[in-house]
Structure 1
Amino acid sequence: MGEVYTNLVNRIRARFNELTPQQKIAATYVLKRPDDVAILSMRGLAARATVQPVTFVRLARALDFRGWEEFKAPFVDRMRGAPDLYSKRAERLLGLDPATRLMDEMHSAHLAAVDATRSVNTAQNFLAAAEALNSARNVFIAGFRSCFGPAFALAYEYRLFRPEVVLLSSMGGILEAELRAVGPEDVVVIIGFRPYSREAMIVAEHATRRGATLIAIADSPVAPFALGANIALHFETEGPSFFPSLVGAWALIEQLLSVMVARGGDAVVERLKSSEAQLHALGVFFGDEAAEVAEGLQAAGDDTAT
């Protein structure tokens, strides 16, 4: 996103407590619905934010802008700089030799995404996220559409050493029902990139209302669901493919899980051992030699007993 828009968001957040109650409502709305600022009239925006139109003028001046149009400009520029349509990005791939140049560019982009993701996240960010997750009563994890894959992986691997993990799927249109269990002692994790899904915003807003700790894993520190997050981790999405890269997100999740295990100590290792034993006993893996050995030992024990 543009530097001017990012600076504006940082200014709003830094001076939020100085605003009047009505200005705070307006500021919260523009942070959560930046596209609305770019496309709606001031009157239409005010109606959706449930404030008077003049409130937006006063908000702009409170933040040292000369007027509404100057305040609105960064939101318009942000929308103009929106990612290309997938079809447009795909057209740029047509002239590349898939056996040489394309493969080389993809490989370089994947390495760059991991490096960029590492550079924008500090060890303190990971430690804070790990501590919050490990101390939570329950953990709810959300990732929608293409981000469902990383969310599923995080939930699956986390469940190997902690049972109180819920993957929010919205399957069957029951997202709101799934969210009813979220409380102030819980942690909610959201994974997403631009364009941000409606469901991600529903989860973020509900987590905030319920007083849960919100961890955002996003492509930008000014992603709408990251702005109100207690902890934010960022990943890079740039790459030559027609679709935003998720390599950085996968790398980030693996690192976060490793930090959680390292911070969890012997108790986590024991839970992992228990999960492994249960999986092997159930024979969930094809050609699971460990399960066959376990069954053989069990059979030998039964023969001895008789």
Structure 2
Amino acid sequence: MDPRQTIIENYPQLTPELQRAAAFTLEHVNELVVLSMRAFAAQAGVRPATLLRLAQRLGFDGWVELKHSFIADLGLGGETYGARAQKLVRDGTHSLREQMFGAQAQNLALGREQNRDAMEQAVSLMESAQQVYVCGFRASFPIAWSLYYVWRLFHRRVSLIDGFANNDEMFTRDFGPEDTLVIIGFAPYSRETLQVLDAAKRAGAKVVALSDSPLSPLAQQADSRLYFSTESPSFFPSVVSGISIAECLLAMLVARHGSEAVERIEETERWLFESGAYVTAGKKTDERG
């Protein structure tokens, strides 16, 4: 049973109080899956009994069953990292190398097919924005950093929301309707990522989501959606396909910007060599540094 769709279909028949609880539930799924019923009710401004009645009216035995339905819908109810790691230890390394490279090849092929018609739209939103913000926390950070770092070589109006020193609000307070947020995440979804997404939607900014499923809370609120598979024989999800999508977006952005991008890249590259940030092969570096 899809809990989101169930709420939407039953919403008109609910009492005003239950409608308020239902609307809050749809808008705060990330809090729902980590908070107790009492704590979630306090945030929603309703009594815990109201949440219990809501769950029962939707066809669930109780609030716990509704909560577990959302957890499963978000992809959070699968095999734990620890269990997957134990399986690796038990099975050993025999054929693991081939399995790993085979899984990566499949993920890349799936990403190519899934995003065949969506890449141009995503690039258009990214290119036309007054300011672009790139966001990806925890395991999604390498994808976000790669996209931001290379993009900055030829585009000034891009910022990375890195979360260092809990500084998210330094960026989210500046969101505006002319801006675009490129947000990256996969199950289990980071609470901070969803908070940034919520801030962008409130500000009217456009959202490009790189995520793992159409059911992802990132994808469901995005204006443009790109998908990457995280399947891996290892204990931890793979980000290889996500990196490949970021690299494809960057190549397309350069092609769109044309000679302006080429000039900016050449200027940046020249500065990097002249400043000593880039070192040519065979050149000795200062032993003191």
Q: What interval of TM-score do these two structures reach, taking the shorter chain for normalisation?
A: 0.7 to 0.9
Secondary structure of the residue that 1:195 maps to in structure 2? Answer: coil
**Alignment partner, residue 286 of structure 2:** none
CA contact (8 A) 1:280 1:288 kept: no
Please state if 1:262 is matched with 2:258.
Answer: no
SS of equivalent to 2:90:
coil
Q: Distance in 2 between matches of 1:17 and 1:139?
A: 38
Show the counterpart of 1:272. 265
2:101 maps to what in 1? 107
**What secondary structure is seen at the aligned counterpart in 2 of 1:190?**
strand
- What are the residue-to-residue correspondences of 1:97-176 with 2, within 5 Å? 97-98=92-93, 100-123=94-117, 125-176=118-169
Q: Distance in 2 between matches of 1:69 and 1:38?
A: 19
Distance 1:120 1:16, change over 3 A: farther
Whether the 8 Å contact between 2:22 and 2:54 is mirrored in structure 1 is no
TM-score by length of 1: 0.77
Residue 89 (structure 1) aligns with: 84
C-alpha deviations, 1:87-131, integer Å up to 9, x for none? Answer: 111111113443x411011011111111222232232x1111101
Contact kept in structure 2, 1:30 and 1:36, CA below 8 Å: no
- The residue type equivalent to 1:84 in the other structure is E
Contact (CA 8 Å) 1:31, 1:224: kept in 2 or not?
no
Judged with a 3 Å threshold, the aligned counterparts in structure 2 of structure 1 residues 18 and 229 are, in CA distance, closer, same or farther, namely farther
- Pairwise CA RMSD: 3.3
- Equivalent position of 2:26 in the other structure: 30
Instruction: Report how many aligned residue pairs link the two structures.
Output: 278
Letter in 2 for 1:117: G
The aligned runs of 1:1-306 (5 Å cut-off) are: 4-5=1-2, 8-9=3-4, 23=19, 26-27=22-23, 29-30=25-26, 32-33=28-29, 36=32, 41=37, 45-50=40-45, 67-69=59-61, 76-77=68-69, 79=71, 82-98=77-93, 100-123=94-117, 125-287=118-280
Per the TM alignment, residue 206 of structure 1 is displaced from its structure 2 partner at its CA by 0.8
Q: Is the 8 A contact 1:9 1:222 kept in 2?
A: no
* Residue type of the alignment partner of 1:143: G
The 1:14/1:126 distance shift into structure 2, 3 A limit, reads farther
Residue identity in the other structure for 2:254: V
Shift of 1:47: 3.8
Kindly provide the CA deviation profile for residues 117-156 of structure 1, in whole angstroms up to 9, marking residues without a partner as x.
Answer: 2232232x11111011111111111111121111111000
User: Structure 1's 235 and 275: CA in aligned 2 closer, same or farther, altered over 3 A?
Assistant: same
Task: Confirm or deny: 8 A CA contact 1:37 1:45 kept in the other structure.
Answer: no
Q: Which residue type is aligned with residue 152 of structure 1? A: W
> Given residue 101 of structure 2, which amino acid in structure 1 is its aligned partner?
H
Question: What residue ranges of structure 1 are gaps of 5+ in the alignment?
Answer: 291-306
**Contact 1:26/1:56 (8 A) holds in 2:** no
Counterpart contact for 2:177–2:203, Cα < 8 Å: yes
Gaps (5+ residues) in structure 2?
Answer: 284-289
| Partner Cα distance (2:39, 2:56) in 1 | 17
Hey, which of these two has a bigger chunk of helix by percent?
1
User: Share of identical aligned residues, percent?
Assistant: 33
- Correspondence for 1:297: none
- Supply the AA of the counterpart residue of 1:163: R
Report the CA distance between 1:266 and its aligned residue.
2.4
- What is residue 287 of structure 2 aligned with on the other side? none
Offset of residue 86 of structure 1: 1.4
Q: Deviations over 1:160-210 (max 9, x none)?
A: 110111111121122112322222211111111111111101110111111
TM-score by length of 2: 0.81
Does the 8 Å CA contact 1:31/1:227 hold for their aligned counterparts?
Answer: no
Give a deviation string over 1:39-61, Cα, whole Å, max 9, x none: 855x7654433357658967997
Identify the residue that residue 300 of structure 1 maps to in structure 2: none
Separation (CA, whole Å) in 2 of partners of 1:36 and 1:252:
31
